Amino acid sequence: MPRSRSAWIDSPDVAALRRPRLRTALLRAALTAVVVTVGLASVAAASDLDTRDPGLLPRGTTGVVVLDLSLSITDSDYATVRRALRGIAAGDARIGLVIFSDVAYELLPPGTPAAELRPVLRLLVPRADGSPNPWTQSFRAGTRISTALELAAQMLERDEIARPSIVLVSDLATAPDDVPALAETIAGLRLRGIPLRVFGIDPSSDARALFAGLLEEGALTVAGDTGGRHRRAGALGAVPSALLALAALLFAALAAHERLTARLGLPAARAEEGA
């Protein structure tokens, strides 16, 4: 219920309080504006925070998956290969597919829906009856990674892909005489503006060191090793830090609002003695 007029106490000093009241009103308005601004900035920063796994294929690109099917990829590695391809196939990206050993073949042209990788998954399983996979022993005789990467780049340029990328799925073992060509090919991809990401399947320490030296930081992920994923997530670290700073500023503004613009509290009137 609203208070009756008789509950207020007249004071001859009301005019003297006019300036402090105006100052308090302006301060309250300014702090309220700060709180609203910081709150909106916090919401915007939180909406831009993407906590999903960035995956192998850079978002917004049309990538060519380059799949190693050499003899060094054993039956026990197929489960890892299938997981990697299944993750790509689950997205709505457009991809191409190259399979390689000593030679490279184009299986799917760039722009193919990623779901078209699923039929390939059925072929990447060990045969219980011991029968060979479709990949012949002559095809799987050796490994030349540079040849496969160059074919992927040519496919992307041939089809005039606007935002290209390449994903290599391999144990990273290549022929010794392929190392200079591999270094030249990776450097060429960088000059042509084609991002390269590599998913290593149980690579040797030498192969891992080779690719770590050739690739940009964060481009190498090794199966079973979250180090590469942590490096990519670290690139997002500025966003949570900014979010924490905005939250601290928001709480500081709220505290200042309550501390500096609160109503003046007066002591309750004491009851007259003997009342």
Low-confidence ranges of the chain (pLDDT < 70): 1-18, 20-21, 42-55, 73-75, 125-142, 225-243, 246, 257-275
Opening angle at CA 153, ends 56 and 95, nearest 5: 45
Which residues sit opposite 38 in a β-bridge? none
Instruction: Please report where in the chains the tokens 């990623």 appear, as a residue.
Output: 114
What does the pLDDT read at residue 180? 93
Opening angle at CA 150, ends 147 and 151, nearest 5: 85
Residue 58: Cβ within 10 Å count: 19
Contacts 24+ apart (CB under 8 A), 12-16: none
> What would be the CATH architecture of the domain defined by 62-233?
3-Layer(aba) Sandwich (3.40)
Rounded CA-CA distance 15/89 in Å is 75
List, for residues 221-240, the tens digit of each pLDDT value: 888 764 444 333 333 344 45
Q: How far apart are the first and last CA of the chain?
A: 27
Where are the chain's structural domains? 16-49+237-260, 62-233
What does the pLDDT read at residue 5? 52
Q: In whole angstroms, what separates CA 176 from the centre of its chain? A: 34
What letter would DSSP give residue 198?
E
Rounded CA-CA distance 145/43 in Å is 46
Nearest to 90 by CA among 126, 64, 55: 55
Which residues sit opposite 196 in a β-bridge? 166
Buried-exposed string 223-239: b where 16+ CB fall within 10 A, e elsewhere:
beeeebeeebeeeeeee
* Residue 193 contacts residue 146 (beta carbons within 8 Å): no
Helix (H) or strand (E) holding 96: strand 94-100
Q: What is the largest CA-CA distance in the chain?
A: 113
* Residue 166 contacts residue 152 (beta carbons within 8 Å): yes
What does the pLDDT read at residue 169? 92
What does the pLDDT read at residue 236? 36
What does the pLDDT read at residue 202? 86
What does the pLDDT read at residue 80? 85
Q: Which residues are CB-neighbours of 128 under 8 A, at least 6 positions away?
A: none
